[in-house]
Each structure stands twice: as structure tokens, then as C-alpha cells.
Structure 1
Amino acid sequence: MAGRSFEEAAQVLQTDLLEKQAMNANMGDEVRRLREANKALVRQLRQSEVERGKLLQQLQQVRWQLGIAEEPSGVCDDPGGPPPSSGDESSAYVSTVDQAEAEAVRPQLQMAPAQQDRPKRTASAALRPQPRQLFALGAALAALAGGLHLSGSGSDAMQGATAENMLHGINASRSTPGGATSSLGSISVIAPESLPSRAPPMTFTARGKSPDLIVYVEHLRARNLEERHRAVMSLLSTAREGVAMRSAILQAGAVLPLVELLRDSSAPMLQEAAAAALGVLAADGEAAQSTLLRAGAVSALGRLLGSDSSVPTKAAASAIRNLAANHNAAQLAIAKAGAITPLINLLTHSDQGVQAQAAAALGNLAGDSSENHFDKQMMIAQAGAVPPLVQLLERASPELREAGASALRMLATNNADNQVAVAHAGAIRPLVRLLYDEMASVREEAAAALGNLVFYNDETNAGNQAAIAEAGALPRLGALLQDKAAAVAETAAGALRNLAAQNSANQDSVCQSDALRSLVGLLKESREPKAQVEAAGAIHNLAAGNTRCQGKIVEAGGLQPLVSLLKEEAPRMREVAAGALWALARDNPELQKAIDRSGNIYAEHLPQGHPKN
């Protein structure tokens, strides 16, 4: 009985084991089947991503066409149209810039070039698709794309446009604490946010990375050249959407594959697109610039400066321009990579856009306030940059004239050797002629350059002061104090401030002209604090040690607005106003009585014949 029970139990266990073995075999088959199915799904997913990317490109093109159809006048902005002519903004990459963002990147003082309108093109009504057809096509493409949208994604039309409307230059400068002023800032370039996008905003994951961006970054290493180019142009278009988008592109790891694309000499258009994308990313400041440095962008961009084609050369020069802006480590890396001489050679390039970008890049390499600022300026000047930059001042293109004046301004900043070199190269008279230029940004840069040619480290260059006055700059600078462009008037006041410093001949010339009343007018009426600071500084330098000018300033009504500035909240305003009042009263006992310690002006203490303020 016991034996039979054992045998029965063994048989039951054996049967159960066989059943489990059979189940395991079935499960193994099912796992293999699922693995094969998963591989097939992955292949289908990749194919779907490629198709979705193409559909998104087509959808973006349709949206762009819809934007044309909505224009009532038949004239539209063309974000993907032909490159601008040489008459557009100083770089080949032109767009308007949001003024609030421009102010955020401007250090303290002057040099904000007038914005230029982007190129226009006429859209022929006969060639336009009908609105209903466009809406129907757009809806169909949206459905096929699965509801995934990319704001500002690249299209075939945009690929043809390369990066011609991606960048815009901004200049900056700051004042010194002394009696004169010196422009110390450098040109920087920011990606435009002004071109509106009609696509919905890009979606982001919980980690802050867009799935669309990740796909584009992956496609940067695709084997197909067209696919890589489409991915670069999509990233370039997305970068124009704002700081958040550019930050997301950096986080998605796009920089290293973009740098790798710069080395593909077999595809110049791809090199140009990659260089333009890196240039836009570098415009966001130190963190972005440092990321490009670590990825080896400097050496790759430097090699493109000697390219046989002007297409990648222009984009590379623009990217170096952005990379060098106010970033000492990048400037040193660019110089160490041997890029200065190629940039100087590009100043005589047959393409004016390349010339403008090279001049702006050299200006950025020379323009900062770091300890080795002087060494970099001298390196550029000794490499032969000054003569070709002076030649740019007399070119027909206003962008070249502006770029040349700006670079010379940077090279002359607080550098007595370069001030002499620029003057000896014949720059003074062309710069004075540029004070009459029809472009406000050119007038501004010319005035700033002239002001920087006469001041260094609290000292003045008397020879350049005399040469500039002899060239007829003083009357014209006085007239520019009433320029419609506020930045021009402010910069003209700064130039007069430097030209009058410790120079009695120039002081008398200004005080005997209408320029004095214009300076007082800036004190009273300007709504720009920086313009008031420059005007007060000019009055300070006019009055210092010159009793004739002191009396003229009082006659012009300069006391009361200076005393009013003493009540301003800004410390710099109070400091400059106090300095001007001190210069007026220092050698003039009658004026000392007119100004008491509380800052009140007593009419009975004014010198006889002086009007009451």
C-alpha cells in the first residue's frame, strides 16, 4: 500500500514536471517571437520618425506659405528667402532684435546700431496657392504628423536660405571713472527672436529636453547628407526661437556633433549651416561659449576661415565673432589657434559679407577689459589689421564702414600705441567724414572711434586731439548733439568730452560754438541718463582750468541742471554733476558763492550780467 502510494506520487510529480517543461518551451517560443516583433517595431519606429520629420518640414513650409497668403499688401517678410544684399546690416546674417533683450546685454554706455529692416520680397498673387487648398493641405499634414509640432522647424526653403537672417550685431561700451570716457565693450551677436513663428510651442519632457530636439541631434550623425543638413537647419531655425530653445539645444548635446560637421570638407553647405548654428548658440554668453570651447569649436572654425568657398568662411567668421564676444578664454584660444592672420586676410575678401564679419570678429578679439587686453590689441595691430580696417571706412557699403570704425574703436581703446598707429594710417579724416554718414549707426561708431583715439588710462593724446580738431570734427560733433538718434547724440557728447580734456584750444572752440548750448540742452531735456552723464562730463572738461569757458557755461544756463542732477538717485549722476560743479567753481570765487553746500543757487550771488537760471 505504502509502495503504491509512493509510485502514484512519483507519477504525479513526473506528469507535473513534463507539463511545466512544455509550458517553459512555449514561453521560450513566445519570448523569441516577442523579441522579433520588438525588432520589427523598432525598425518601423525609426522609419516613422524619418517620415514624421519630412512631414514636419512640409508642414512648416505650408505654414510659411499661409503666412504669405495672410499678408494683405502682397509684400511679406521672407525668413527663408535669398541672402540680403550688401546694403543690409553689417553681417550677412540680418534680423531685427528685441530692444529689451538688447538692453540686457549692453554693459553701460553706447554703441547700439540702428536696426535694419529685413529684406522684403513681393509675393505674386497669381503664384499663390488658394487659402482653402493650403488649409486643407496643412490639416492633412498635421494629421499625418501625429499632432507633433516643432516651433520654427527647418524646411526645404529654409535650407536654401542657409543662415542669412540668423544674426544681428550689437555693440557695447562703458565709461571710465575719470574725466574722459572710453568705449570698452565689444560687439556681441544675439540670435533674433523677432521673427514670429506660427507653429505651436515645442513640447518638452519632464527633464526639459524636447523629443524633437533629441531626434534632430541624432540625425546630425546620419549617413545621409540630406538628412544631416535638414537636421542642422531645423536646429538653426529652432535656435532663433529664444534663449530657452537655445538652452534646450545645448542640453540635448548638439554642440559636439555640430563641431564634427565643420570638419566635413566634402559638404560646404553643411559646414556653413553647422557654423551658423554654433554662432547663434555662442551668442547666449559665457556658458554657451565655454561649451563650444570644450567641444573644440575654435580649431574647427579657424580652419574654415581659409576655405576656398565664401559660404562656410562667412559663417565661420560670424561664429568666431560671437565666440570671442567678452570671453577672455575664447579670445586667447582663437589667437592661439592662429585665427588672427586669416581674419585680417578676409578684410580684403571679394565678398563684402565676409569682410564685415571678419572686421567684427577682430573688434571682439580686441574689445574687453581683461588684464591682457593690451596684449591682444597689439597682437592684432602688429599682424597688420589697421591699414585694411582704415580702407573699410571709405567703402560704398555702410555695413563695411560701420564694421571698420567699430574695430578701430576697439583697437584704440586705452592703447596709446594703437592710437598713434591708427592716426598714422590715415584714419582721422575718413572717420570725420563718417560723422556725416546717412546711417545713424555709422555716425555713432565714427564718433566713438574719434573719442577713443584721444584718451588712454586717464591721459590724453594731445597730438590726436589737435589732428581731429583740424580735420573739422568739433563743429560736426556739436551738431550731432541734436541728432534724432539718441545714441548718436550721447556718443557725440562723449567724444567732445574726450577732445576737451586738458586742451584749452578745443575747450575754447566748443564754448564759442552752439555745441555748448546743445550740451546744456542734453542736461535739461534728455530722457537718457547716459546722455546726461556724458553731457555733464563734457561740461566738466570744458570748465576745468578755463575761466572763459566757465563764464560761457553759466551764461548758457548750465548751473541749474547740474544742481538738479545732484538730487538724482543714481550715484553716477550725482558724481558727474558734482565734478562738473567743482570744475566750474574751483577757480571762480564768484561761482563758489553762487553754489552753497546744500546745492542751492542764489540769484544775488551770480556774477553781474549772468542770467538767472
Structure 2
Amino acid sequence: MDWFVAGLKSQSNEVKTKAAEELRLLAKHNVENRIIIGHSGAIRPLLSLLYSEVKITQEHAVTAVLNLSINEENKAMIAEAGAIEPLIHVLRSGNDGAKENSAAALFSLSVLEEYKAKIGRSGAVKALVDLLASGTIRGKKDAATALFNLSIFHENKARIVQAGAVKYLVELMDPVTGMVDKAVALLANLSTISEGRMAIAKAGGIPLLVEVVESGSQRGKENAASILMQLCLNSPKFCTLVLQEGAVPPLVALSQSGTPRAKEKAQQLLSHFRSQREGSAGKGKS
């Protein structure tokens, strides 16, 4: 391992690139190798290579970091070595493969509870949203997965909405993208704050959510119903829009044949519609 670590610090870019590539491959499938490399002192020099202007060197280095981060002990060492800033740099400057693997590495680090906050406060959210907007399909998937994990930490929800994620997530609800479930899962977390609900309605998300309730996967239907419930319980105006999109028949179907959680959400929504209707009928009589 000493040769590889020395290679990462070499003056020769060719040697650095070769060392990063070899470490990437060694860490790819072998659990033992990940542990050995993690303890060999390779992490810090790999992170410094994330600033390399040679794109292939940067890609090998970030992929090695990602592969090493699969190991729990390495994950903590990578985070403590100050990985967040260099990973954001790769998100902004790397080639497609490097950006994808940088997003995946940030996801891997965000599994550590205290790093959900640190990553959220670091500027990573904007860079991940940019990847969500203009990355490859794999890049978008990796960005959505990382953002989902970050959104579990409450204060990150507003950051994700403010960075403009909702517009792109609504676009990704088109079945052609193959990303409906990922998009709806993240929107379900964002719909628990008022800025998230406003952004979903503004981006034209309501008709698409009704569509997911009607013809999405079981998980997609469940999350879409959850979002519609957040919209309706918090705003009579949004509730009217949901009803105008013909949400009742698919919700009735979901209340009879969805997952237990989806049935519960659909039933709650339908009873909310009934109470709204009865309330307005009562007002009409007085």
C-alpha cells in the first residue's frame, strides 16, 4: 500500500493518476482491501486529488473515495478528513462520471447523522440541485438520492426548496425519466414545509401527483397521496385544485387496494374532502 500512497503524492501526474486508478479498483469489490486502504493513509491524498485539473485523475480519485466510503469506519475517516468541500468542487467541475460519483459519495457520508447538517450547511445542496437539473440520468438519480437523505434533517428541507429543486423534481415525475418514485419520495419530505407546498403547486405538480396516485408504483402512490394530504390539510385553495384534477376516483381506488399506509392516507384525504363539502353546504343553508 505504501507505493500507492506515495504515488498519490508524486510530482508526476501520470503516477498520481495510476495510483488513484489502482486504489479505485482495489476498493471496488473487496471488503478487506477497503479496510487496508483506509488505514494506509491514502484518504487525505485522495481528497487532495479531487482538486486536480486533470479530469480523469479527479474521476479516479473521487470514485476511490466513494468505494472506500462503503466501509463504516472509512466513512467516518473520510468525513473527518474534510471531504465535503472537495466533493462539492467535483460536483461543480468534474466530468459526468466524477459528478455522479461525487453525489453518491455525499449520499454515503450523509448516512452519518451529524453530517446531514454539515453537508446541508456547506453549499452541497445547490451543487446537487444543479446536477438534478442538468446531469446524466445516473447523475440525476445520485443527486436525488443524496438530497432525499439530506431532507430527512428538517433544516435542510428549506435549503433544498430555496435551491430550486422542486421544479426539477416535478419534471422528473414524467414516467419517461424512470425517476418518478425518487422524485415523489423527495417531494413527500419537502411537502411537510409551507415553502415546499407552495413550490409544488407553483411548479404544476398537482395534476402529476394525481396521475401518480392513479397509475404509479405502490410506493409512488403512497408518497403522492401523502403529498396531496399535506397540500389539502394546509390550504383550502390547494384542496380545490386537487379536487379539480379529479383526485377522488383514484383516491377511492387507493383506499381499497393500496399499501396499508397508502390506504390510510387516501381515507384521511377522502374524509377531509367530505368534511369540507359538508362545511360549505352548511354555510349555504344559513
TM bin (shorter chain): 0.7 to 0.9
Matched residue, 1:406: 145
Matched residue, 1:466: 198
Q: Are the equivalent residues in 2 in contact too, given 1:324–1:361 (CA < 8 A)?
A: yes
Query: For 1:271, which of 10, 17, 20 is the aligned residue?
Result: 20
Q: Are the equivalent residues in 1 in contact too, given 2:5–2:19 (CA < 8 A)?
A: no
Q: Structure 2 CA distance, aligned partners of 1:299 and 1:431?
A: 35
Q: Are the equivalent residues in 2 in contact too, given 1:276–1:315 (CA < 8 A)?
A: no
**Per-residue deviation, 1:376:** 1.1
Cα deviation, 1:569-589, whole Å, max 9, x if unaligned, reads: xxxxxxxxxxxxxxxxxxxxx
TM-score, normalised relative to structure 1: 0.39
**Per-residue deviation, 1:497:** 0.8
Query: For 1:490, which of 208, 215, 219 is the aligned residue?
Result: 219
Q: Where does structure 1 lack aligned partners over 5 or more consecutive residues?
A: 1-255, 455-459, 526-530, 552-613
Cα deviation, 1:524-569, whole Å, max 9, x if unaligned, reads: 55xxxxx61442242254257x261799xxxxxxxxxxxxxxxxxx
Assess, with a 3 A threshold, how the Cα gap between structure 1 residues 507 and 294 changes in structure 2: closer, same or farther.
farther
Matched residue, 1:315: 60
**Per-residue deviation, 1:353:** 1.2
**RMSD (Å), alpha carbons:** 3.3
Matched residue, 1:380: 119
Q: Are the equivalent residues in 2 in contact too, given 1:264–1:271 (CA < 8 A)?
A: no
Q: Are the equivalent residues in 2 in contact too, given 1:275–1:301 (CA < 8 A)?
A: no
Residue type matched to 1:354 in 2?
A
Residue type matched to 2:173 in 1?
L
Q: Are the equivalent residues in 2 in contact too, given 1:259–1:296 (CA < 8 A)?
A: no
Matched residue, 1:210: none
- Identity, % of aligned positions: 28
Q: Are the equivalent residues in 2 in contact too, given 1:258–1:274 (CA < 8 A)?
A: no
Correspondences of 1:155-554 after superposition (within 5 Å): 256=1, 260=5, 263=8, 265=10, 266=12, 267=15, 268-281=17-30, 290=35, 292-325=37-70, 327=72, 329-366=73-110, 368=111, 373=113, 375-395=114-134, 397-415=136-154, 417-436=155-174, 438-440=176-178, 442-454=179-191, 460-483=192-215, 486=217, 489-501=218-230, 502-503=233-234, 505=236, 506=238, 509-510=241-242, 513-522=245-254, 532-543=259-270, 546=272, 548=274
Q: Structure 2 CA distance, aligned partners of 1:393 and 1:325?
A: 23
**Per-residue deviation, 1:437:** 5.9
Cα deviation, 1:475-520, whole Å, max 9, x if unaligned, reads: 2022124557x3xx51352143145144354556545644443345
Residue type matched to 1:426 in 2?
G
Q: Structure 2 CA distance, aligned partners of 1:429 and 1:345?
A: 24
Higher helix share: 2
Aligned-partner SS, 2:176: coil
Cα deviation, 1:189-245, whole Å, max 9, x if unaligned, reads: xxxxxxxxxxxxxxxxxxxxxxxxxxxxxxxxxxxxxxxxxxxxxxxxxxxxxxxxx
TM-score, normalised relative to structure 2: 0.78
Assess, with a 3 A threshold, how the Cα gap between structure 1 residues 274 and 330 changes in structure 2: closer, same or farther.
closer
Residue type matched to 1:536 in 2?
K
Q: Structure 2 CA distance, aligned partners of 1:543 and 1:331?
A: 45
Q: Structure 2 CA distance, aligned partners of 1:262 and 1:307?
A: 14
Select the structure of larger CA radius of gyration. Answer: 1
**Per-residue deviation, 1:356:** 1.2
Q: Which moved more, 1:295-304 or 1:513-522?
A: 513-522
Q: Structure 2 CA distance, aligned partners of 1:376 and 1:539?
A: 35
**Per-residue deviation, 1:388:** 2.0
Cα deviation, 1:410-438, whole Å, max 9, x if unaligned, reads: 221232x2111121222221221221262
Residue type matched to 1:274 in 2?
L
Q: Structure 1 CA distance, aligned partners of 2:101 and 2:58?
A: 9
Assess, with a 3 A threshold, how the Cα gap between structure 1 residues 272 and 520 changes in structure 2: closer, same or farther.
farther
Q: Structure 1 CA distance, aligned partners of 2:264 and 2:244?
A: 18
Aligned-partner SS, 1:383: coil
Q: Are the equivalent residues in 2 in contact too, given 1:352–1:400 (CA < 8 A)?
A: yes
Aligned-partner SS, 1:344: helix
Residue type matched to 1:263 in 2?
L
Q: Are the equivalent residues in 1 in contact too, given 2:210–2:247 (CA < 8 A)?
A: yes
Assess, with a 3 A threshold, how the Cα gap between structure 1 residues 507 and 414 changes in structure 2: closer, same or farther.
farther
